[in-house]
Structure 1
Amino acid sequence: MNKVYIGLGSNLKTPAQQLRQAIASIRLIPNMQLIAVSPFYGSSAVGPGQQPDYVNAAALLHTTLDAHSVLDELQAIEQGQGRIRGPEQWVPRTLDLDILLFNNDVISTQRLQVPHPRARERNFVLQPLLDLNAALLLPDGTSVAALLAATSKQGLWPLPDDTTEA
């Protein structure tokens, strides 16, 4: 059984509802079990330009699927919720589902980088991961708690508990 941590984010079309809908869709994927979902957080958009704030969370999955099959399933959910992929990286989106960790594997292909290449510096990724597993380590042995402690907490805030119900 593969242990997968994913990041969820949205800043368009009722973001908390987008995350709840994605969680419900993940529950329906054959050969995948949703184990836990972190609390939801509000976060300031990263990158150039003006964007609405994001809602972010993380989830822990168990699956018999390989990493690229998980990616295919997550991208199908994104597309089903109106995600439009283009060449621009820093754009608003209805839904962003990223594989953050896949077992203790390091994956580097044209389609997939695991651990997620920018996870180490993003409080909106690290805090939800820490909520799911306070002792979580990256494949290189780096503690998620230590990374979060070294990261600014600016631009991240907890959302009310009722936003996380799926």
Structure 2
Amino acid sequence: MRMQALSGPHRAVLALGSNLGNRRDNLQGAIDALADTPGIRVNVVSPLYVTEAVGGPEDQPEYFNAVVLVDTFLSPEMLLERANAVEEAFQRVRTEHWGPRTLDVDIIVYADKVSDDPHLTIPHPRAHERAFVLAPWVDADPAAELPGHGRAADLLAKLSMAGVVRRDDLELRLPE
């Protein structure tokens, strides 16, 4: 993969999710793989949340979710390419929209960039309505702002936390 250098670094927020296999290990593996990428520095890892599946088919296993804050010299497109490669390394299969998956890595925000490109919409088009994204993000960065929507904490306060449980006994760590 060719990494595109930019001036910067730029702050990005990535949401991680897994509901197949060893979910905690999948998330930790994604964090480690992102940290091993030239041009990406993982600065903050949120607490882990266990959440019910949203959308998609019924009767899915619960998700493990977390958010990481990174500084990157990669362009948004290259960051997406790396996120997809990390998913593939964990055997992510895209057969069913919002179906079960070993790993999901979504770009929630990239600096203050706003893009409605269908290949990469920034900020993530549904982040403002997803407690499983906002709760770990607010834990990781209480002052977080979602461009076009406002403070993440204010957005979270408007949402139900039913089915979204912080699990402090299941720790994720910053890579060494």
Alignment of 1:69-84 (within 5 A): 69-84=78-93
Percent identity over the alignment?
38
Q: Is the 8 A contact 1:19 1:95 kept in 2?
A: yes
Pick the aligned partner of 1:60 from 59, 69, 76: 69
1:148 aligns with 2:160: no
Counterpart for residue 93 of structure 1: 101
- Secondary structure of the 1:163 match is coil
Q: Is the 8 A contact 1:39 1:161 kept in 2?
A: no
Letter in 1 for 2:59: Q
Q: Is the 8 A contact 2:128 2:146 kept in 1?
A: no
TM-score by length of 2: 0.90
Counterpart for residue 28 of structure 1: 36
Q: Unaligned stretches of 5+ in structure 2?
A: 1-8
Counterpart for residue 5 of structure 2: none
Letter in 2 for 1:107: S
- Secondary structure of the 1:76 match is helix
Q: Unaligned stretches of 5+ in structure 1?
A: none
Tell me, in whole angstroms, the C-alpha distance in 1 between the residues paired with 2:92 and 2:33: 15
1:41 aligns with 2:53: no
Letter in 2 for 1:66: S
Count of aligned pairs between the two proteins: 165
Letter in 2 for 1:135: A
Tell me, in whole angstroms, the C-alpha distance in 1 between the residues paired with 2:155 and 2:149: 11
Tell me, in whole angstroms, the C-alpha distance in 1 between the residues paired with 2:119 and 2:98: 18
